[in-house]
């Protein structure tokens, strides 16, 4: 069985690692950095779909049925009918089933749009099902029985069935409160992985917003002490609602506090991992105000961390963050560019030295 997994561009390697850990026997076919896509092949067994759909780092899961070149011209899309026929898409249709087509076009130089792809593939699905099943399937955009996925990446068309449904896997059902600048749970998971966090450690998000990082930490690490902190009581009320819905309220401490005075709340050298998504100044507030928070927060985070601990931050203002970090003894352990929605951001993992030499 072949699957196409979509993810935040820039996190493909982390997805590949999780696949190897969670899907026994899976083989990575393709994981192009920055593509937001990972293709895998897995042995067909009764539990494979559940394991693939349970991956924490992916947004959607497509069962791939056919792939082939179509080129960049409108003429190439005529190949779509043959590919839908090769995919045996009719096997996914029961009597009276409705369907929708979700399409993507990635790359440059195409004469056609994603809407053109959807139209051509949709027509092919109707024709194939009608010829092979003897009845005409209807298109339904809301809650269809089957979502046919069609994607042209450069000159290659992929046809499959979207197994994860209309709702992206990054939209967790525990999120009953949505913060104005909410972090996708997939990025929260990836930040936790990159931070080096281990079960049993003290984990803190001092600018928690809707609490996504804290909830994901609690779901990953059963024995960790996790604190969710924010200066805004209204945000914390929403974070608490998410924590309760996720059923981890007994394992996450929620406190109102200012990240710029962090050690007043948690003490000095008391935390193993600080993982946070600070205000950007792009989505909320002014840039200078956001930079002021970072400027005051960095030295406080350094003081709060144990030696060998890490601070993991996602930000579009990476140069400013690193400039402030250089004023301390933080070292850059990891740095990568990722896309968060339409924003180009970076994840930085800063490490406090295991021991400090005073002169």
Q: Which residues of 133-163 are buried (b: 16+ CB within 10 A; e: fewer)?
A: eeeebeeeeeebebbbbbbbbeeebbbbbbb
Does the pLDDT of residue 334 top 90, yes or no?
Answer: yes
Q: Which of residues 268 and 170 earns the better pLDDT score?
A: 268
DSSP string for 333-353: EEEEEEEETTEEEEEEEEE--
Q: Angle CA(102)–CA(342)–CA(172) in degrees, nearest 5?
A: 65
CATH topology of domain 2-162: VC0802-like (3.30.2130)
Pick the range with the lowest mean pLDDT from 234-238, 240-244, 287-291, 352-356: 352-356
- The residues pairing with 152 across neighbouring beta strands, listed in sequence order, are 105, 157
Task: Please choose, from the candidates 177, 169, 186, 178, the residue with its C-alpha nearest in 3D space to the C-alpha of residue 314.
Answer: 186
- Range 184-191 average pLDDT: 94
User: pLDDT tens digit string along 4-17?
Assistant: 999 999 999 999 99
Inter-helix orientation angle 114-133/79-87, to 10°: 50
> Please, are residues 303 and 330 in contact by the beta-carbon 8 Å criterion?
no
Tell me the C-alpha distance between 280 and 50, whole Å.
36
Q: Is 39:29 a contact under the CB 8 Å cutoff? A: yes
Mean pLDDT score, 40-46: 90
What is the pLDDT, as a whole number, of residue 169?
52
Rg of the chain (C-alpha set): 23
CB count in 10 Å sphere of residue 227: 22
pLDDT at position 60 is 92
Q: Which fold has domain 185-351?
A: Rossmann fold (3.40.50)
Q: Are 10 and 34 in contact (CB under 8 A)?
A: yes
Q: For residue 78, is pLDDT > 80?
A: yes
Mean pLDDT of 55-71: 93
Alpha carbon of residue 2 to chain centroid = 21
Task: Quote the DSSP letter at residue 35.
Answer: S
Taking the alpha carbons at both ends of the chain, their separation in whole angstroms is: 61
Cβ atoms of 236 and 258 within 8 Å: the answer is: no
Please write the tens of the pLDDT for every residue from 280-331: 865 545 788 889 999 999 999 999 999 999 999 999 999 999 999 999 999 9
What pLDDT is stored for residue 14 in this prediction?
Answer: 96
- Give the single-character DSSP code of 198: -
- Least confident window among 28-42, 92-106, 160-174: 160-174
**If you average pLDDT over residues 175-179, what whole number do you get?**
77
Give me the helices (H) in the chain, please. 12-22, 48-53, 79-87, 114-133, 185-195, 212-220, 233-245, 263-266, 287-304, 318-325
What pLDDT is recorded for position 5? 96
Whether 249 contacts 243, CB under 8 Å: yes
Rounded mean pLDDT of the chain? 91
What is the model's pTM? 0.90
Q: Which residues contact 48 (CB under 8 A, 6 or more apart)?
A: 1, 23, 42
Q: Where are the domains of the chain?
A: 2-162, 185-351
Residue 359 has pLDDT above 50, yes or no: no
Cβ contact 272:205 at 8 Å: no
Residue that wins the pLDDT comparison between 165 and 245: 245
SS3 29: strand
Specify the pLDDT at position 218. 95
Q: Which DSSP symbol is given to 111?
A: S
The per-residue pLDDT for range 101-148, each reduced to its tens digit, is 999 998 899 999 999 999 999 999 999 999 999 999 999 988 899 999
Pairing of strands 156-162, 146-153: antiparallel
For residues 67-88, give the mean pLDDT. Answer: 89
Residues forming beta bridges with residue 253, ordered by sequence position: 227
Q: Which pLDDT tens digit goes with each residue over 341-357?
A: 888 999 999 999 997 54
Question: Percent of the chain beyond pLDDT 70?
Answer: 95
What's the confidence (pLDDT) of residue 355? 75
pLDDT of residue 358: 43
pLDDT value of residue 351: 98
**What percent of the chain clears pLDDT 90, i.e. is strictly above it?**
79
Q: Are 279 and 315 in contact (CB under 8 A)?
A: no
311: enclosing H helix or E strand = strand 305-315
Do 69 and 112 meet the contact criterion of CB atoms below 8 Å apart? Answer: no
Please tell me the predicted confidence (pLDDT) of residue 80.
84
d(CA 86, CA 273): 50
């Amino acid at each position: 069985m072949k699957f196409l997994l979509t993810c935040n561009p820039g996190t493909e390697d982390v997805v590949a690692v999780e696949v190897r850990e969670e899907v026994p026997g899976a083989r990575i076919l393709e994981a192009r950095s920055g593509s937001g896509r990972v293709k895998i092949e897995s042995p067909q067994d009764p539990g494979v779909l559940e394991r693939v759909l349970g991956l924490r780092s992916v947004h959607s899961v497509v069962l791939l049925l056919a792939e082939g070149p179509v080129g960049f011209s409108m003429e190439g899309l005529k190949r779509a009918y043959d590919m839908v026929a090769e995919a045996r898409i009719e096997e996914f249709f029961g009597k009276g089933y409705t369907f929708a087509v979700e399409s993507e076009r990635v790359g440059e130089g195409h004469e056609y749009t994603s809407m053109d792809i959807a139209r051509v593939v949709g027509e092919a699905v109707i024709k194939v099902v009608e010829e092979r099943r003897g009845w005409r399937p209807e298109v339904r955009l809301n809650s269809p029985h089957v979502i046919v996925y069609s994607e042209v990446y450069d000159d290659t068309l992929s046809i499959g069935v979207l197994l994860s449904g209309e709702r992206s896997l990054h939209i967790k059902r525990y999120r009953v409160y949505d913060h104005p600048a909410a972090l996708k749970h997939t990025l929260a998971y990836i930040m936790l992985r990159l931070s080096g966090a281990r079960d049993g450690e003290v984990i803190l998000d001092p600018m928690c917003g809707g609490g996504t990082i804290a909830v994901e930490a609690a779901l990953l690490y059963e024995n960790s002490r996790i604190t969710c902190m924010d200066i805004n009581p209204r945000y914390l009320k929403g974070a608490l609602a998410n924590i309760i819905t996720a059923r981890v309220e007994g394992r996450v401490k929620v406190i109102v506090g200012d990240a710029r005075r962090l050690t007043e709340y948690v003490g000095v050298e008391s935390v193993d991992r600080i993982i946070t998504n600070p205000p950007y100044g792009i989505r909320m507030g002014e840039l200078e105000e956001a930079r002021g928070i970072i400027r005051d927060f960095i030295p406080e985070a350094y003081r709060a961390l144990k030696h060998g601990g890490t601070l993991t931050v996602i930000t579009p203002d990476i140069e400013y963050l690193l400039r402030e970090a250089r004023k301390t003894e933080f070292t850059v352990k990891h740095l990568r560019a990722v896309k968060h929605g339409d924003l180009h951001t970076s994840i930085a993992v800063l490490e406090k030295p295991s021991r400090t030499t005073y002169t």
